[in-house]
Amino acid sequence: MIDPGTVELSRLQFGLTAMYHFLFVPLTLGLSVLLAIMESVYVMTGRPIWRDMTRFWGVLFGINFAMGVATGITMEFQFGTNWAYYSQYVGDIFGAPLAIEGLMAFFLEATFVGLFFFGWDKMSRVGHLTATWLLALGTNLSALWILIANGWMQHPVGAAFNIHTMRMEVTSFYDVLFNPVAQAKFVHTVSAGYVTGAIFVLAISAWFLLKGRYAEFAKRSMTVAASFGLAAALSVVVLGDESGYTASQNQKMKIAAIEADWQTEAPPASFTVFGFPDVKDRTTHFAIRVPWLLGLIATRSLDEEVPGIVNLVAANAERIKHGIVAYRALETLRAHPDDSGAQADFANNKLDLGYALLLKKYTDKVVDATPAQIEQAAWDTVPGVAALFWAFRFMVAFGLYFIALFAFAFYLSARRRLDRYRWFLTAALWTLPLPWLSSELGWFVAEYGRQPWTIDGVLPTYLSVSSVSAGTVWTSLLGFVVFYSVLAVVELYLMVKYVRIGPAVGPSAAPRRAAPVAE
């Protein structure tokens, strides 16, 4: 028997640990590339200030790396304990990218972190620079393999259900690797990490300028952050559009929920900029719509429909009915493997087998499900519309704000006026938490939008959890909250402490103290 409390607690635990883990990841992704850029300039110009910049931002990178490393391992703990049925059912596919990530990317990353920190006086300039670039490469490769695993959960390609082993198995690792959803998510996620790194450098440099400390150091750091950040912020939007397009092709319900798109409009569909989704009445109140925009974004055409929630629910009810045929055929085949009729029924309907499993919430006799139960299960395929609607809009708003901020910083940098406007420096400083917030919102949209599935269309979430007691999950959840909260506090303490200490500026740099920005 599945305890609904255990299901919800296991989801909460996994969601919390994933979101805590992702507090550390984007900064590692972004800062590693910024360090490589700064050190490249140092090697090319030989100017010590660029080495000082690399070393100072490297210290903050090191603190974040040390606090963040292994925080993701708690999710691996949970796969085996809380999500044992998930692991059994899809571990053949899902486990491979996770193992490759650990063996290849993380070892690469961890090795070159060591060379980066301890190799300054032991390696040639070019040798150390190579280690720094390989560190950035390892960090990004880690993200690639994790997102291949996650992309497969969103769009399970290159795998098929094996009726003999009763689990999903790989049929094409190439398809798993080059899953368009995974590739789009990877580039979107790493660019969001680059934005986080760039805002981190921009905000702390702005603080130095506001305090009148390390002016030359801060202005150069801001110049790198502004140019890199502008390119990254523009990439986030372009690649986010690609990610949205792949989702609209493969996860139509997620897109319909994000847009609170209840009914199918005549193409091209309009985009709802603002409104209040009403789940009960299946409408969006006070909607402000931009004609054609959603159709263009989601289908890249003027004549293709973007299906609405009500229409998709009706389509999913049909898929549940097909799933019941596959389910019945599977039961027959397990008793009579040579039954040709059952073989044909299973082959024709196996892609909808997962939809029949949605009925398990309401009946143990799936093949005898009533029309009411089928309708109930079909409506279960709609994720939380209001939460997705707002989370997506805040994420996009933050993304557009980052472009404006970086564009203005880039303009000021080109005009050599970075320290001229106090309001700009203050805005840059207060922007510091926003890239984390938008990254978390992005993950929320991706994962909450996949509900009610762990593997989209294949395995419902409530069938993925183990038969562990809710009390055990509560206790371990409490342990994780304490553990991660302490880590976050230690990270903040160390970050603030070493930012206050500031860079070990050499004789080439500007004076440690300059007049604070007055205007």
Partner 1 sequence: MRMRLRFEIAFALAVKAAALTVLYLLFFAPAHRPEISAAAAAQHLYAAPLQGGSQ
Interacting residue ranges for partner 1, rule: CB under 8 A:
1-4, 59, 62-63, 66-67, 69-70, 73-74, 77-78, 80-81, 84-85, 87-89, 165-167, 327, 330-331, 334, 357, 360-364, 366, 376, 462-463, 466-468, 472, 475-476, 479-480, 483, 486-487, 490, 494, 498, 501, 504
Q: How far is the CB of 223 from partner 1 (least distance, A)?
A: 26
Shortest separation between residue 78's beta carbon and partner 1, angstroms: 7
Write down the least CB distance from residue 513 to partner 1, Å: 19
In angstroms, the CA 306 to CA 291 distance is 13
What's the Cα-to-Cα distance from 23 to each of 198, 237, 334, 350, 451, rounded to whole Å? 15, 21, 46, 39, 23
Q: How many Å apart are CA 412 and CA 475, to the nearest integer?
A: 52
- The C-alpha atoms of residue 260 and residue 424 are separated, in whole angstroms, by 36
Among candidate residues 360, 359, 358, 333, the one with its CA nearest the CA of residue 347:
333
- Min CB(86)–partner 1 separation in Å: 10
517 contacts 209 by C-beta, under 8 angstroms:
yes
User: For partner 1, which is the closer residue by CB, 30 or 68?
Assistant: 68
Question: Tokens at residue 480, please?
Answer: 């994780």
Least gap, CB of 321 to partner 1 (angstroms): 18
* CB of 93 vs partner 1, minimal distance in Å: 15
Q: Closest separation between CB of residue 517 and partner 1, Å?
A: 27
Distances (CA, A) of 173 to 178, 247, 270, 347, 429: 9, 21, 38, 22, 45
Nearest distance in Å: CB 259, partner 1: 26
Comparison of 379 and 394: residue with beta carbon closer to partner 1: 379
Closer Cβ to partner 1, 109 or 261, answer by number: 109
Closer residue to partner 1 in complex, CB, 146/357: 357
3-state secondary structure string across 395-454: HHHHHHHHHHHHHHHHHHHHCCCCCCCHHHHHHHHHCCCHHHHHHHHHHHHHHHCCCCEE
CB 98 within 8 A of CB 80: no
Rounded (10°) CA dihedral 188, 192, 197, 203: 150
C-beta closer to partner 1: residue 301 or 475: 475
Nearer to partner 1 by C-beta: 6 or 243?
A: 6
Nearer to partner 1 (CB atom), residue 88 or residue 130: 88
List the structure tokens of 449. Answer: 């939008």
At closest approach, how far in Å is the CB of 501 from partner 1? 6
Give the residue with the Cβ less far from partner 1, 185 or 213: 213
CB of 481 to partner 1, least distance (A): 11
Q: Which residue do the tokens 């009925």 mark?
A: 359
Provide, rounded to whole angstroms, the least separation between the CB of residue 331 and partner 1: 7
Dihedral sign of CA atoms 286, 289, 295, 300 in order: negative
Question: What is the nearest approach in angstroms of partner 1 to the Cβ of residue 73?
Answer: 7
CB closer to partner 1 out of 231 and 488: 488
Instruction: Please say which residue, 230 or 356, places its beta carbon nearer to partner 1.
Output: 356
User: What element of type H or E holds 479?
Assistant: helix 470-501
31: Cα separation from own chain's centroid: 17
Contact 255, 267 (CB under 8 A): no
188's CB contacts (< 8 A; 6+ apart) are 236, 239, 240, 242, 243, 442
Give the CA diameter of the chain: 86
Q: In terms of CB distance, is 401 or 448 closer to partner 1?
A: 448
Q: Which residue(s) pair with 167 in the sheet?
A: 162
CB 344 within 8 A of CB 301: no
Tell me how far, at minimum, the Cβ of 251 lies from partner 1, in Å: 22
CA atoms of 190 and 237, how far apart (whole Å) = 12
**Nearest to 181, CA basis, from 199, 197, 157:** 157
Closer CB to partner 1, residue 59 or residue 146?
A: 59
Residue placing its CB nearer to partner 1 in the complex, 139 or 191? 139
- The 3-class secondary structure across 185-254, one letter per residue, is HHHHHHHHHHHHHHHHHHHHHHHHHHHCECHHHHHHHHHHHHHHHHHHHHHHHHHHHHHHHHHHHHCHHH
